[in-house]
Amino acid sequence: MSRKSVVLSIQPMYVLEESFYPDTWQDDSRMGVLLAEFRVRSVNPENYDSKMKFWKEMIRNYCNHKGSALVSIIELKQVFKRKGTSPYCLQVVFDDMIREKQLLSSEQFRKESQESWTGWAVDVFIRKPVGWGFGVVKDKLIGSSQDENAEFVCLEVVMKQADVLEKFLQEQNKHNILISMEDFTDLTKNSGMSIDGINLVLHHMVRQQRVYIDRSASETREENKWLLKFAVPGAKAQPITDIERSIYNLEQTEQDLLKIVDKLDQDIADSVELVKGNIREGKKQLAKSNLKKKHLLEKNLEKKMNVLENVQTMLSRIHDSQSDRNVIEAYKLGSNALKNAFASSGITLDSVDDTLAEMKEIMDQQDEMQTMIGSTQTADVDELELEKELSDLIDMKLAESNIQPSPISLESPVPKAPAAVSGGQSTLAQLNDFDKEIEKRLAALRMESPSPPFDTSMVNTVSKSDKTNVTSVNT
C-alpha cells in the first residue's frame, strides 16, 4: 500500500464535541488568521506569540481529551479542520514545541528506557501497536515535523496522565504487588486514558523508574504475560523477585481453581436436573448414566477442593513468612539503631562499671570528710604547763584571800585549806569563794585527752574538811 493510499484512507478516529472548541472557534475573522500560515515574527511579535500559544493549548487539550499524548500533524489537520479549511501553521508549531522540548519523537521517546525493559518497549511500540494515531502501522516512526505522518509525544500530557495514574494506583492499593498487563488494562479502562495513552504513560514511568515490567516465568502456562510492579510513592521500582513470582503464580492457580470449582458445581447441579428429567420421562438407563456422571463430577470436585485448600494454605504461610520477615527486619533495625546510639554516646559495659566504681569511691570520700568535719579537735597542750598554770592561779587566789598557801607537789597539787581563825564566818565565805573559783578554772581546762582530767573532788574534800575544822573551832 502506497503512502498516498494510506493518507487517503485516513479518517479521524476521534471526533471532538462542539463544547471542546473555544469561543474563538466561532469567529470567522479570527479563525481565518489562526488557520493561516505564520508570518515573520518581527512583523508583529504580539500576534505571532498569541497565535503560537493558541495552537499549543489546542494540541495539549486535544491530547488530554482523547486520553493519549501521541499526536501527528496529519491527525491534527483532520481534527481541527474548520469549514473545509485545515490549519496550515502546524509545522511551525511542532518545530517550536520540539525546540522547547515539549514534543519528543516516538522513536526517541522509546529509546529512553532502561535496558531491562527494552523488550517490553519494542513489543508495545513496534510489534503490537494498538490504535496509535489513526490505527495505521507505519514503517517509519521517527521523522521531523516535515513528515506530517510522523508521530510525536507531548511530554506535558504524559506527565500529567502519569500523576493521575499514580493517584489511582494509590487508591487501589496496587503498589509493590504483581499485576498482569491484561488486568491492569481492565483496571484502568475507566480512567479516561486510551490503550495507547496508557502504554505511553507506562513507558514514561519506566523511564522514571516508577514501574518495573517483565514477563512472567510460569512453567505451567503456555503463554507468558507481561507483569507490572509499581513502586510506592517516593521510591524506585525494584526488580521482581522469585518469591513474588511464586506468589503471583499461586494466586493465579487459586483463581483458576475457583473457576473450575464453580463450573463443577454448576455441572453437578445440571446433572441432577438431567437425572430428574430422565426419570420423569421413564428413561431409566439414561438416568443411570447421568447419575454415574454426577458421581464422577463430585469426586473430581472433591479433588479440586483439596488442591484449592492446599494452595490457599501455602499462600497463607507465604504471606505469614513475609510478615515475619518484616518483623525480623524491624527487630534488626531497632537493634542496629540501639547499637549505634550506644556507640555514638560512648556507653560500654566497661565504662559503666568504671563509672559506678568511681562514684562509689567518691561517695566513700565524702562520708570520710563528713566524719572528719564532725569530729572534735583537741589542742596539743603540755600537761605540766597546765598543772603549773593551775598552781599559779590557786596561789594568786590564796594571796588575794590572805590565805597562807602550802607547798604543792605532784602528789598533792591542791593547796590545803586555811586553819581556823577568828572571824570564822568570814573565813568560811572566803573558802566558798575559793572553791567556786577553782571549779570554774577546772571547768575551763577540761578537754579530751589521754591524760585524766584534774580531779576536783580532792579540793572539795579538802574544803569540806576545812569547813568542818572551822566549824569545830568556832564551836
Other beta carbons within 10 angstroms of residue 29's beta carbon come to 6
Between strands 226-230 and 211-215, the pairing is antiparallel
Give buried/exposed letters for 182-200 (b at 16+ CB in 10 A, else e).
eebeeebeeeebbbbbbbb
pLDDT, position 467? 45
Domains of the chain, each with CATH number or no CATH = 3-240 (no CATH), 244-336 (1.10.287), 391-474 (no CATH)
124: cell is 508495545
pLDDT above 70: residue 411: no
**Minimal CA–CA distance to 395: which of 403, 386, 383, 387?**
403
Three-state secondary-structure class, residue 197:
helix
Q: Specify the amino acid at residue 243.
A: I
Measured between alpha carbons, how far is 123 from 135 in angstroms, rounded to an integer?
16
Measured between alpha carbons, how far is 203 from 113 in angstroms, rounded to an integer?
7
Q: Specify the amino acid at residue 407.
A: P
More confident residue, 193 or 325: 193
Look up cell 494540541; give the residue: 59
pLDDT tens digits along 323-375: 777 788 888 888 888 888 877 877 788 888 888 888 999 999 888 888 888 77
Measured between alpha carbons, how far is 390 from 413 in angstroms, rounded to an integer?
9
pLDDT, position 440? 63
pLDDT above 70: residue 79: yes
Mean pLDDT of 1-15: 41
Measured between alpha carbons, how far is 165 from 351 in angstroms, rounded to an integer?
56
pLDDT tens digits along 435-444: 666 666 566 5
pLDDT, position 431? 60
pLDDT tens digits along 223-240: 567 899 999 888 888 888
Structural contact between residues 372 and 365, judged by C-beta atoms closer than 8 angstroms: no
Structural contact between residues 148 and 197, judged by C-beta atoms closer than 8 angstroms: no
pLDDT above 70: residue 416: no
Mean pLDDT of 194-222: 81
Q: Specify the amino acid at residue 17.
A: E
pLDDT tens digits along 26-65: 888 999 999 999 998 888 889 999 999 999 999 999 999 9
Average pLDDT, the chain: 77
pLDDT tens digits along 275-290: 999 999 888 899 999 8
pLDDT above 90: residue 98: yes
pLDDT above 60: residue 119: no
Measured between alpha carbons, how far is 330 from 337 in angstroms, rounded to an integer?
10
* 74: phi then psi, degrees, rounded to nearest 5: -65, -35
Helices 242-281, 284-345: axis angle to 10 degrees equals 160
Residue 405 is given by DSSP the state: P
How many Cα atoms sit within 13 Å of 323 on the Cβ side? 6
155: cell is 511530554
H or E, element range at 227: strand 226-230
pLDDT tens digits along 146-190: 678 899 999 999 999 999 999 999 888 888 889 888 889 888 888
pLDDT, position 316? 87
Residue 117 is given by DSSP the state: G
pLDDT, position 318? 82
Q: Does this model's pTM top 0.85?
A: no
pLDDT, position 247? 87
466: cell is 576545812
Three-state secondary-structure class, residue 229:
strand
Question: Which range (38-47, 255-264, 448-457) has the least confidence?
Answer: 448-457
pLDDT, position 121? 53
Between strands 151-154 and 211-215, the pairing is unpaired
* 135: phi then psi, degrees, rounded to nearest 5: 80, 20
Sheet strands side by side (includes 70-72): 70-72, 151-154, 103-105
Q: Specify the amino acid at residue 62.
A: Y
pLDDT, position 465? 45
